[in-house]
Chain A
Amino acid sequence: DAGVIQSPRHEVTEMGQEVTLRCKPISGHDYLFWYRQTMMRGLELLIYFNNNVPIDDSGMPEDRFSAKMPNASFSTLKIQPSEPRDSAVYFCASSLSFDSYNQPQHFGDGTRLSIL
């Protein structure tokens, strides 16, 4: 079975450029989460969706960050303009709501973002 697929795996870009991270959740999963991991702050939630609708975006650092889920099989996280402090590993995860407390979250392998 295909797991959560994220692209690109690595992104290096210059400050001020727009960055778009992509995620394909596991087919049939109705929850999608975006997390960010840094050495200083560890793993923290940015935003999550249920049935393509954003439920909680309180973790999004500022207006430079935006996320969309146009359909059940695709989500994007966009940073515009990017700054060096946005450098981190960004993870996407998905899960199934049925019998929810017994359903684990499945994570992709992340996008390692470096802003120069």
Chain B
Amino acid sequence: DAKTTQPPSMDCAEGRAANLPCNHSTISGNEYVYWYRQIHSQGPQYIIHGLKNNETNEMASLIITEDRKSSTLILPHATLRDTAVYYCIVRSPHSGNTPLVFGKGTRLSVIA
């Protein structure tokens, strides 16, 4: 699975969009980009995943660049409850149910 690079921390004002970047310049053609987050004292929580098209669900949007070397997770209206560590993970479809490999992630602080 390709390696990812994320900024260690970011701040966002409550009610504004939080844009979390992830660099995955060595991603291969069939690898997916997954995002998980971990709120303090809880287990990691799946947010969204995508291959090359932009994806949106009830939690967030995922924008993947055309060359697929980077992506951005967007929380459209961040709330204080979105304060968490966000992990970007690249996985091959052949990874199936193999374990997740977590990096250090981005610590997002949503500020009132």
Q: Nearest Cβ in chain B — how far from A91, in angstroms?
A: 5
Beyond contacts A45-B100, A45-B101, A104-B46: 13 other A-B pairs, Cβ-Cβ < 8 A, are A35-B99, A48-B98, A50-B97, A56-B99, A91-B43, A91-B44, A93-B44, A100-B97, A101-B93, A104-B36, A107-B43, A107-B44, A109-B43
Q: Nearest Cβ in chain B — how far from A25, in angstroms?
A: 12
- Chain A, interface size category, equals 20 to 34
Q: Are A109 and B97 in contact (CB under 8 A)?
A: no
Q: Are A109 and B93 in contact (CB under 8 A)?
A: no
Q: Are A42 and B97 in contact (CB under 8 A)?
A: no
Q: Are A97 and B43 in contact (CB under 8 A)?
A: no
Q: Nearest Cβ in chain A — how far from B50, in angstroms?
A: 11
Q: Which residues of B contact A (CB under 8 A)?
A: 32, 34, 36, 41-46, 49, 91-93, 95-104
- B-chain residues with CB within 8 Å of residue A31 when the two chains form the complex: 97
From B45, which residue of chain A is reached at the shortest CB distance? A107
Q: Nearest Cβ in chain B — how far from A61, in angstroms?
A: 15
Majority DSSP secondary structure for residues of A touching B: strand
Q: Nearest Cβ in chain A — how far from B95, in angstroms?
A: 7
Q: Are B43 and A110 in contact (CB under 8 A)?
A: yes
**A14-63, CB < 8 A from B:** 31, 33, 35, 42-45, 48, 50, 56, 59
Q: Nearest Cβ in chain A — how far from B97, in angstroms?
A: 4
Q: Does A106 contact B (CB under 8 A)?
A: yes
Q: Nearest Cβ in chain A — how far from B73, in angstroms?
A: 15
Q: Are B43 and A93 in contact (CB under 8 A)?
A: yes
Q: Are A109 and B99 in contact (CB under 8 A)?
A: no
21 A/B residue pairs, CB under 8 Å, sorted by A: A35-B99, A42-B103, A56-B99, A59-B99, A91-B43, A95-B97, A97-B96, A97-B97, A100-B96, A101-B32, A101-B95, A102-B49, A103-B97, A104-B36, A104-B46, A105-B46, A105-B100, A106-B46, A107-B42, A109-B42, A110-B42
